[in-house]
């Protein structure tokens, strides 16, 4: 190993070949270059040139330099130079690598992994055996580390950061179990946080040989966020304060740093943000985040923006949001009189939203409570006043209602001074009418709730006017007297409703506003931390979701054990009990990493240890592949150059020949476009009949198969004739008519929609299609299609049986469809003027009327059915020679012409709807009618 400055050579003997370079130079210089061959007609003049005047050729100097450079690069590359080789590590003996992958390593994980990789690469290069000690193993049953070649060590361990503290004592034990003899150099990639056993481990490593410590910068010191606490925001009933506390690993020299703490809800929406600043040299910092209570109740976690780690993430469990409500009533157990009882309305209002407990005051106060409602308006006994006061000071909310016994200042737990006597409004003996509510004042937490019109207050207790009455009033009547007042006591508050909780004094408890108000009150109260709602203190909590070292929520693996509830408070997160949420949905408890961490102290290393930081460690870099690649590129360039010099590169490369290029590019473009079209068109196709699919682009009318081949033939030829007539006389160019079988099993609305008009010739023998297909037909009608029902039942009608039988069949079919009521076609219906001006729509038979949907003349989309019995198809049909198939009755050929016109009108009606009913056309129509 040859070391020259910052480059070291792994195979220095190859450099001896560089001595041959001057020789090669000479050789290359003397060798004449390759000849270029040129055809020349005047060659005779080149024969017999005077040789004394001819000089010999030499390789051009720049080509010489290029070739020498290639050779030099090859020699250098083969000598395997390495940049930034760590000198002093060229030791014999094994290499011990201690890798800290606890919670503190997560923010700088990428740099740590790179440092580990570099270390292992270096060991592999020097062929040192390596033992890798990981101080936060994933499970305690991991196999003990042993000495192994560096390549195996790199592959064997899949190291990930873990969300718990490192266990250096365990690493020390494993080291001692290996019984290594010195000298053994060691590298410690450390996270800088002191834990028990760190000093001993450092001492042991220093004793075995040289110790290199690689650690992060001082500015990347790990941060810890402790679980915040809620407190009341002074003066504002709606907001609450969240007291944040952060700690960092710092010495006196650490400069000022800041962090942004965010509060997120369960959908990862940011609810609030607060910057926290560490003073220079400080290890702790606090801040206060002010949040409205409703938002504070929604918080699911607190974390630090930009520093994702398990120690900066604090999960808020259900206790953050739990608000048990206790209703204290004076009713004796056993007497229940619903609708008269005080607590009834409150229970009904709050029951669906909150956890409601009933009982006497004593019982309720034994367990943590967020809101206490005293439904019966009465005095609180002195003994209870003290207990309640302390409970309120600690953050409880007392909601009281008035009653006949709340007369004057009966006890100290009232928000305002009350005037004795109260008042009655709108009674039999008073002049006034019952009062209604005024809009909520600015400072009221009920702002935003809608006040129904029918809330009246007949009776209330009155408050003594005072200077701060306006500030304490949350709800007022129209004349300004307070209805609901509240006052803060310490961290909690007392709220007084000046009416009863029953409808005796007011209609408020009967209204929805009462429910909203009580919900608001519960929302702005503080949550309690206490036992779960069911008394499950002996229960065991299963892991619900865990956080990994980066602070992300993950599902728990199979190796995580459940925790008994009583152990949760003091549990230390580790491999068996990772931090996260335990319990089940709705009753989760959080096990956070930060409370278990204790004080953070920076780690101290022995003086003999060499300390570098990640950025300071320049990774070793082998130059060999780069140099050899460069030599190869230059060699190719040299080849190209020598070809060019000898004029071996053809003048016209086939690719630059324009027609070829155009052809090739054109083919390429076509292929690209085709593939794009194919990709775009590779959507799943619905299986529609291909002929039907083709009708989307080529419109055509269709007839519904009647089941009798004769009738089908008539319909086909009739519609053929109509189509060709349309093509000649109008602008409508349809394709050939199609036969549709309504009895087919695979029929969908999509199969019918492409057709503007469907013609259905109904005879007594027509089968009734299955319900699904009739539904499809119904959808077709609703989407704007037109169906022409033709059910001739005159005696002697084609395909007809008894008179009336076809009509009966038509009735049966129409009953299966959802049609608007039909009516006779009026003489000025759009059908009579949509192309030709007609009086009626004759077919083979002249007289029968035509039914259309009622109200379709003014309707935008027109009628969706035309029901007739004139037998149009027979009038239109022609046989093979072009002669009409059937005679028309009674009118003759003129009537046939009119029936064809009727057909044209029908198709135009199907295509244009009620266009012709617009008054714009009326003058021209009148003109034509007159003429």
Partner 1 sequence: MSVAPRHEDQHRLLLEANAVAAGMPPLLVAARRIAASVTLGSHGRRRAGVGDSFWQFRPYSKDDTPQAIDWRQSAKFDQVYVREREWVAAQTAGLWCDTSASMRYRSSPKLPTKAERAAVMMLALAELLVDGGERIIVLSNEGRPQRSATAGRLAIAHLADAMTADLSGKKAMNNAPEMPSFAGALPRHSTAVLFSDFLAPVNVIAESLRTLMRTGIKGHMIQVLDPAEETLPFSGRVRFVGLEQEGATVIDRTEDARAQYMQKLAAHRSALRDLAASAGWSFGLHHTDHSPQFAMAALHNAITGFRR
Binding residues for partner 1, per CB under 8 A? 32-47, 49-50, 53-57, 645, 651-652
- What's the min distance (Å) between Cβ of 68 and partner 1? 20
**Inter-residue contact 813 to 782 (CB < 8 Å):** no
d(CA 620, CA 119): 9
103 strand-pairing partners: none
- What's the min distance (Å) between Cβ of 671 and partner 1? 32
Closest CA to 301 of 242, 369, 354, 223: 242
* Residue whose CB is less far from partner 1, 28 or 632: 28
d(CA 108, CA 101): 10
H/E stretch holding 482: strand 482-489
List Cβ neighbours of 785 (8 Å cut-off, separation of 6 or more). 752, 753, 755, 756, 757, 758, 864, 910
* Residue whose CB is less far from partner 1, 48 or 333: 48
* Residue whose CB is less far from partner 1, 35 or 467: 35
* Residue whose CB is less far from partner 1, 46 or 569: 46
- What's the min distance (Å) between Cβ of 38 and partner 1? 5
Pair of tokens at residue 726: 């349309």
Give 584's Cβ-side CA count (13 Å radius): 5
- What's the min distance (Å) between Cβ of 653 and partner 1? 13
- What's the min distance (Å) between Cβ of 637 and partner 1? 19
- What's the min distance (Å) between Cβ of 66 and partner 1? 17
Coil vs helix vs strand at 496: strand
* Residue whose CB is less far from partner 1, 53 or 924: 53
- What's the min distance (Å) between Cβ of 53 and partner 1? 6
- The angle, 0 to 180 degrees and rounded to 10, between the axes of the packed helices 21-30 and 61-78 is 150
- What's the min distance (Å) between Cβ of 640 and partner 1? 17
d(CA 163, CA 577): 10
**Inter-residue contact 459 to 506 (CB < 8 Å):** yes
* Residue whose CB is less far from partner 1, 39 or 534: 39
Sequential DSSP letters for 204-263 = HHHHHS-EEEEE--GGG--EEEEEEEEEEPTT-SSEEEEEEEEEE---TT---EEEEEEE
* N residues, the chain: 931
* Residue whose CB is less far from partner 1, 447 or 646: 646
Pair of tokens at residue 21: 């370079």
* Residue whose CB is less far from partner 1, 50 or 535: 50
Pair of tokens at residue 387: 């207990």
Closest CA to 246 of 291, 278, 221: 278
472 strand-pairing partners: none
Sequential DSSP letters for 529-595 = --S-SS--TT-EEPEEEEE-TTS-EE---TTPPPEEHHHHTTPPP-SSS-SEEEEETTEEEEE-SGG
**Inter-residue contact 591 to 563 (CB < 8 Å):** yes
* Residue whose CB is less far from partner 1, 37 or 919: 37
- What's the min distance (Å) between Cβ of 45 and partner 1? 4
* Residue whose CB is less far from partner 1, 35 or 428: 35
* Residue whose CB is less far from partner 1, 478 or 647: 647
- What's the min distance (Å) between Cβ of 30 and partner 1? 13
**Inter-residue contact 219 to 257 (CB < 8 Å):** yes
Q: Rounded to whole angstroms, what are the CA distances from 921 to 39, 732, 830, 832, 863?
A: 89, 20, 11, 13, 20
- What's the min distance (Å) between Cβ of 651 and partner 1? 6
d(CA 629, CA 643): 21
* Residue whose CB is less far from partner 1, 65 or 633: 65
- What's the min distance (Å) between Cβ of 56 and partner 1? 5
- What's the min distance (Å) between Cβ of 639 and partner 1? 18
- What's the min distance (Å) between Cβ of 65 and partner 1? 18
Q: Rounded to whole angstroms, what are the CA distances from 883 to 606, 624, 737, 880, 886?
A: 117, 96, 19, 7, 9
* Residue whose CB is less far from partner 1, 27 or 633: 27
* Residue whose CB is less far from partner 1, 43 or 681: 43
- What's the min distance (Å) between Cβ of 25 and partner 1? 20
* Residue whose CB is less far from partner 1, 252 or 652: 652
* Residue whose CB is less far from partner 1, 39 or 918: 39
* Residue whose CB is less far from partner 1, 32 or 796: 32
Pair of tokens at residue 917: 């009913």
Q: Rounded to whole angstroms, what are the CA distances from 286 to 133, 258, 281, 597?
A: 37, 11, 15, 17
CA 927 to chain centre: 66
- What's the min distance (Å) between Cβ of 643 and partner 1? 14
- The angle, 0 to 180 degrees and rounded to 10, between the axes of the packed helices 198-208 and 168-178 is 30
- What's the min distance (Å) between Cβ of 635 and partner 1? 22
- What's the min distance (Å) between Cβ of 664 and partner 1? 22
Q: Rounded to whole angstroms, what are the CA distances from 261 to 226, 273, 288?
A: 11, 6, 10
Residue in the structure block whose two tokens are 């040289």: 210
List Cβ neighbours of 364 (8 Å cut-off, separation of 6 or more). 326, 328, 357, 372
List Cβ neighbours of 500 (8 Å cut-off, separation of 6 or more). 342, 377, 401, 402, 403, 506, 509
* Residue whose CB is less far from partner 1, 14 or 63: 63
């Amino acid at each position: 190993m040859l070391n020259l400055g910052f480059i070291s050579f792994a195979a220095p003997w190859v450099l001896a070949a560089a001595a041959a370079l001057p020789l090669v130079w000479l050789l290359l210089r003397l060798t004449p270059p390759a000849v270029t061959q040129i055809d020349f007609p005047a060659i005779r003049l080149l024969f017999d040139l005077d040789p004394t005047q001819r000089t010999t050729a030499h390789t051009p100097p720049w080509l010489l330099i290029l070739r020498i450079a290639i050779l030099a690069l090859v020699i250098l590359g083969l000598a395997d130079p390495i940049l930034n080789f760590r000198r002093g590590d060229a030791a014999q003996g094994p290499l011990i690598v201690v890798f800290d992958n606890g919670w503190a390593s997560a923010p700088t994980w990428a740099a740590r992994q790179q440092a580990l990789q570099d270390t292992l690469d270096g060991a592999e290069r020097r062929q040192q055996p390596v033992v890798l000690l990981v101080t936060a193993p994933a499970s305690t049953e991991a196999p003990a580390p042993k000495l192994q070649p560096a390549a195996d060590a790199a592959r064997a361990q899949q190291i990930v950061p873990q969300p718990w503290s490192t266990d250096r004592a365990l690493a020390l034990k494993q080291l001692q179990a290996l019984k290594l003899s010195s000298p053994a150099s060691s590298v410690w990639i450390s996270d800088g946080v002191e834990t028990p056993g760190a000093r001993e481990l450092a001492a042991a490593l220093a004793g075995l040989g040289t110790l290199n410590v690689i650690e992060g910068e001082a500015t990347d010191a790990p941060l810890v966020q402790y679980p915040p606490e809620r407190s009341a925001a002074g003066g504002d009933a709606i907001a609450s304060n969240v007291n944040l506390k952060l700690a960092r690993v710092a010495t006196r020299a650490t400069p000022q740093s800041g962090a942004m703490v965010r509060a997120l809800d369960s959908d990862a929406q940011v609810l609030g943000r607060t910057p926290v600043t560490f003073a220079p040299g400080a290890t702790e910092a606090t801040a206060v985040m002010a949040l409205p209570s409703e938002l504070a109740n929604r918080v699911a976690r607190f974390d630090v923006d930009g520093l994702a780690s398990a120690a900066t993430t604090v999960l808020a469990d259900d206790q953050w949001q739990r608000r048990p409500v206790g209703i204290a009533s004076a009713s004796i157990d056993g007497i229940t009189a619903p609708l008269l009882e005080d607590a009834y309305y409150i229970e009904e209002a709050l029951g669906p939203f909150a956890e409601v407990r009933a009982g006497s005051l004593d019982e309720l106060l034994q367990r943590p409570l967020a809101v206490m409602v005293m439904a019966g308006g009465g005095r609180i006994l002195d003994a209870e006043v003290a207990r309640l006061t302390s409970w309120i000071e600690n953050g409880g909310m007392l909601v009281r209602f008035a009653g006949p016994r709340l007369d004057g200042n009966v006890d100290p737990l009232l928000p305002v001074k009350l005037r004795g006597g109260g008042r009655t409004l709108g009674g039999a003996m008073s002049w006034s009418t019952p009062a209604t509510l005024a809009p909520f004042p600015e400072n009221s937490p009920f702002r935003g709730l809608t006040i129904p019109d029918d809330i009246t207050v007949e009776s209330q207790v009155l408050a003594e006017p005072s200077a701060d009455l306006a500030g304490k009033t949350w709800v007022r009547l129209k004349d300004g007297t307070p209805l609901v007042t509240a006052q803060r006591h310490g961290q909690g508050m007392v709220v007084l409703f000046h009416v009863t909780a029953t409808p005796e004094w007011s209609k408020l408890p009967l209204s929805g506003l009462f429910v909203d108000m009580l919900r608001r009150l519960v929302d702005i109260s503080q949550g309690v931390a206490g036992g779960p709602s069911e008394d499950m203190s002996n229960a065991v909590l299963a892991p619900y979701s865990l956080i990994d070292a980066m602070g992300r929520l993950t599902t728990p693996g199979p190796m995580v054990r459940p925790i008994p509830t009583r152990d949760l408070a003091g549990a230390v997160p580790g491999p068996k009990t990772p931090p996260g949420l335990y319990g089940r949905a709705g009753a989760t408890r959080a096990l956070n990493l930060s409370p278990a961490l204790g004080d953070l102290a920076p780690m101290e290393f022995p003086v003999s240890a060499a300390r570098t930081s990640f950025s300071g460690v320049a990774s070793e870099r082998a130059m060999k592949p780069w140099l050899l690649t460069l030599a190869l590129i230059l060699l190719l360039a040299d080849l190209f150059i020598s070809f060019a010099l000898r004029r071996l590169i053809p003048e016209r490369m086939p690719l630059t020949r324009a027609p070829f290029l155009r052809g090739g590019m054109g083919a390429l473009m076509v292929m690209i476009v085709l593939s794009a079209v194919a990709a775009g068109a590779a959507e799943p196709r619905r299986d529609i009949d291909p002929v039907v699919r083709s009708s989307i682009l080529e419109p055509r009318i269709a007839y519904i198969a009647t089941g009798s081949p004769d009738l089908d033939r008539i319909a086909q030829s009739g519609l053929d004739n109509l189509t060709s007539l349309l093509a000649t006389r109008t602008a409508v160019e349809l394709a050939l008519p199609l036969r549709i079988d309504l009895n087919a099993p695979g029929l969908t609305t999509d199969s019918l929609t492409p057709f503007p008009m469907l013609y259905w010739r109904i005879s007594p023998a027509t089968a009734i299609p299955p319900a699904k297909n009739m539904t499809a037909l119904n959808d077709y009608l609703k989407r704007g299609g037109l169906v022409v029902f033709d059910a001739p039942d005159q005696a002697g009608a084609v395909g007809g049986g008894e008179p009336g039988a076809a009509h009966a069949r038509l009735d049966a079919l129409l009953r299966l469809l959802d049609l608007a009521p039909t009516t006779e076609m009026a003489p000025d219906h759009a059908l009579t003027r949509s192309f030709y001006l007609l009086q009626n729509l004759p077919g083979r038979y002249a007289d029968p009327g035509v039914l259309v949907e009622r109200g379709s003349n003014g309707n935008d989309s027109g009628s969706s059915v035309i029901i007739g019995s004139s037998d149009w198809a027979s009038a239109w049909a022609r046989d093979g020679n072009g002669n009409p198939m059937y005679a028309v009755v009674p009118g003759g050929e003129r009537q046939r012409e009119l029936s064809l016109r009727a057909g044209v009108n029908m198709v135009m009606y199907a295509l244009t709807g009620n266009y012709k009913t617009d008054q714009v056309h009326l003058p021209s129509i009148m003109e034509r009618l007159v003429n």
